[in-house]
Structures are given as structure tokens and as C-alpha cells.
Homo-oligomer: A and B are copies of this chain.
Amino acid sequence: MLSNSKDDLSQLLREKGYKITEQRKAVLEIVMEHDGEHLSSQEIYELVKKKYPDVGVATVYRTLPVLEELGYVYTVDLGDGCARYELQREGQQHRHHHLICECCGEITEVKDDLLDEIEKKIYDNYGFTIKDHRVKFYGICSKCGKC
């Protein structure tokens, strides 16, 4: 079970044979400060830079996959041609789904998984064992639906 606390970073890094550096702490710090957002690597770099001006782009780009490996973040693909990251919530084994409003662009997270039955059907029909999924729904959110 992984914890999202920043204090565990050192330990997790050590376990994987990575070195503990200020830069890695900085990137995690920034990402944790933006829970619920879907920042691109570029945006994360800019935020890191603002707080810690000496950190280079390459470091941020190299750190994000490490944080992903350690279970702190995972990538979200919003189809805009850049890698985006989202904080991995504690106790969440699967990625959650995203509702993307075509009107205002708001991204809502779906807390429920809801796919168990479908995944079973797919196993029955295709012999495909599902380990993870990425699900995006496009439509109109409740706010925009009223207008």
C-alpha cells in the first residue's frame, strides 16, 4: 500500500536505488500542491522553476517518470499532444475515469469504477485479461446543460 506523503519519497527512492535529491523533492512538492489538476510536464516545469529557479527542464522531465514508477503520479492523456500528470490517490488501484465537458472544458473525475461487469464480459468474449483502463467520456456537464 503506498502512501502519498512526501516524507516517504526518500525511502521509496532508496528502495529503487535512486538517489535522494532536492530536485526530486521539489518536483513532488509542486505536484502535490496541485492535487486534482492535470498539469502538463511543461506546466509542472514552470511551477517548479518559479519556486526553485535553478532546476532545469530536463530534470523535471526526467523526474516525472520516476515519480510515476514510485506510484506518486500517473499520466493522463487528454489528447492535446502533451504528457499530463495527476496525483495518484491513496488506495486507488485503478485509474479513475474523466468526464470532459465539450462546452466549458471542465474535467470531472468519476469516483466509481463501474467497469467490473464489462471487464468480465470482455474476458468471456475475447479471452483478454484486463489489468487497467483509460476511460474518457465526452459530453456536456451539468452546469453547461442548463444554459
Which residues on A are within 8 Å of B, measured CB to CB?
75, 77, 79, 81, 83, 99, 101-102, 108, 110, 112, 114-115, 117-119, 121-122, 125-142, 145
Task: Contact check, B133 vs A135: say whether CB atoms are below 8 A apart.
Answer: yes
Copies of the polypeptide in the assembly:
2
Residues of B close to A108: CB separation below 8 A: 126, 128
Q: Which of A83, A128, A139 has the most CB of B within 10 A?
A: A128
Closest to A131 in B: B139
User: Complex: how many Å from CA A132 to CA B126?
Assistant: 23
Query: B75, B83, B132, B138: which contacts A130 (Cβ < 8 A)?
Result: B138
How distant is A143 from chain B, measured CB to nearest CB, in Å?
8
Task: Contact check, A136 vs B134: say whether CB atoms are below 8 A apart.
Answer: yes
Task: Contact check, B114 vs A128: say whether CB atoms are below 8 A apart.
Answer: no
Q: Which of A110, A134, A140 has the most CB of B within 10 A?
A: A134
Residues of B close to A110: CB separation below 8 A: 122, 126
Residues of B close to A75: CB separation below 8 A: 79
Closest to A106 in B: B128
Residues of B close to A122: CB separation below 8 A: 99, 110, 114, 137
Closest to A97 in B: B122
User: Complex: how many Å from CA A142 to CA B125?
Assistant: 10
Residues of B close to A99: CB separation below 8 A: 122, 126, 128, 130
Task: Contact check, A131 vs B102: say whether CB atoms are below 8 A apart.
Answer: yes
